[in-house]
Amino acid sequence: MCLKQRLLNHLRQIARERDPYMACGGHFFVQEYIRREFARWGSVEIHTFLVRGKSCHNLILNLPSQTKKIKNDLPPILIAAHYDAVPGTPGADDNATGVAVLLELAKKFADEPVKYPVRFVAFDMEEYGLLGSTEYAALLHKQRQPLRLMISLEMLGYRDLTPGSQRYPSPLQRFYPSQGDFIALIGNLRTVPDLIGMSRHIRQVGIPSQWLPVPNRGLIVPQTRLSDHAPFWDVGYPALMVTDTAFLRNPHYHKSSDSISTLDLDFLTGVCAGLEVAIRRL
């Protein structure tokens, strides 16, 4: 089965109403789907945290590096996507696309490990204020766990070739393309070499890529903080977000129309293939 079809199969399972309060059945279904997929490649850890008395769950899969004997010497690459969605939307782009790519990268790196250990995390409660990632970043920081890089996969499947389809926080429109045909990498200053290298490798598979470094934890451009990388910025980790830029491009953002039919599956497939190459080169 080709990568495009595997991604579509994941999307068909994940793209459904899954708000943890208003659609708890769908939320549990997707949580279990991710757990079962992760379990194909290793032991799944559950990181449980409480939100006003409600138990919420981040799902974690650890994969070893190419050379297992040095895995304890190299910090892991953490790759993450959130699996919850806002009420009233199937959340196909936000963030079934990120989870689908997360699951495919887990398969790829389980079959053929990379230089670094890789930790895959599916975050809960992103839509309620990055709660799952905030809890987990704080835990890692408390444990003094180093990370080679944290990568947040956040909306990866919407492309619009129309000139003027891409919007930006001012004054970024002066420096970036007017059409929304690219995948964006947004990182803190510690990630600049990775932003450059990863964008280059993504372009080599035929997907346009733009990169943006942001100082001071992204506080001067708040739109750059709207995903699970931000809590990792806040505690000092090198972290970046991979995104189709969400509401700055996608008119279906947080709406009932955020369905699979609005996605560009060729674009999503290219992003997944490009990320695999880029992460292998880290």
Give me the phi and psi of 110, to 5 degrees please.
-75, -40
How far apart are alpha carbons 101 and 87 in whole angstroms? 23
In this prediction, residue 70 carries a pLDDT of 53
In this prediction, residue 66 carries a pLDDT of 87
Express each pLDDT in 190-205 by its tens digit.
999 999 999 999 999 9
Q: Could you tell me which residues are beta bridge partners of residue 165?
A: none
The rounded percent of the chain whose pLDDT value lies above 70 is 98
In this prediction, residue 67 carries a pLDDT of 76
In this prediction, residue 74 carries a pLDDT of 93
Express each pLDDT in 53-90 by its tens digit.
999 999 999 999 987 655 468 999 999 999 999 999 99
Q: Smallest Cα–Cα separation from 58: which of 106, 14, 121, 145?
A: 121
Do residues 150 and 241 make contact, with C-beta atoms less than 8 angstroms apart? no
Q: Smallest Cα–Cα separation from 81: which of 63, 92, 97, 66?
A: 97
Mean pLDDT of the chain: 96
Does residue 101 surpass a pLDDT of 90?
yes
Give me the phi and psi of 118, to 5 degrees please.
-125, 130
DSSP per position, 21-84: TTSHHHHHHHHHHHHHHHHTTSPEEEEEEEETTEEEEEEEEEE--SSGGGTTTSPPEEEEEE--
Amino acid of residue 82? H
Q: What SS3 class is residue 239? A: strand
The rounded percent of the chain whose pLDDT value lies above 90 is 95
